[in-house]
Copies of this chain bind each other. A is one copy, B any other.
Amino acid sequence: MLYEFKLKTEASDQIIDITNSLLQAVQDSGVTNGLATIYCPHTTAAITINENGDYNVRRDLLYALDHFFPDLKEYKHFEGNSKAHLKSSIIGVSETIIIRDGRPLLGTWQSPYFCEFDGPRNRRFYINIA
């Protein structure tokens, strides 16, 4: 089953918790054992899984990606957002999560996140449950 979720990002770089979307999709599907594929159809955004305890983990991730991959004067892409395209390919646009006993098999501290690298924009992502 396929689920589509829309969101509106509010900054150039932002990491948004999408755990509730995942829980909702898994529950609605009725699938007890299977796979959830979270997919981002954008080329300047990404999906990752990381810590949900201290918000500063997300803050530090965004800081680090910007610090280690700054804009380069040698970039030629006419839209000027090659930095965001690079971050997208480095983090990746999909994540696969195992479903067990009707729940996503995330670690205690794990949550899935939508990563905005070129916002603010209207965005969406898909979750396939099978």
Contacts and interface: CB of A to CB of B under 8 A. Distances in A.
A74 B67 contact: yes
A37 B65 CA distance: 27
Q: Which size bracket describes the interface of A in this complex?
A: 35 or more
B43 A63 contact: no
B43 A50 contact: yes
Contact of A86 (B34, B60, B79, B100): B60
B75 A37 contact: no
Interface SS of chain A: mixed
A97 interface: yes
Nearest to A94: B96
A120 interface: no
A16 interface: no
Interface string A52-89: 00101101110111011100101111110010011011
Given A41-B107, A98-B126, 20 more contacts: A35-B35, A39-B97, A39-B98, A40-B107, A41-B106, A42-B107, A43-B50, A48-B89, A50-B85, A51-B85, A54-B79, A59-B76, A59-B77, A60-B72, A60-B75, A60-B77, A60-B86, A61-B82, A61-B85, A92-B92
Top-6 shortest CB links A-B: A41-B107, A60-B82, A43-B51, A56-B76, A56-B77, A48-B89
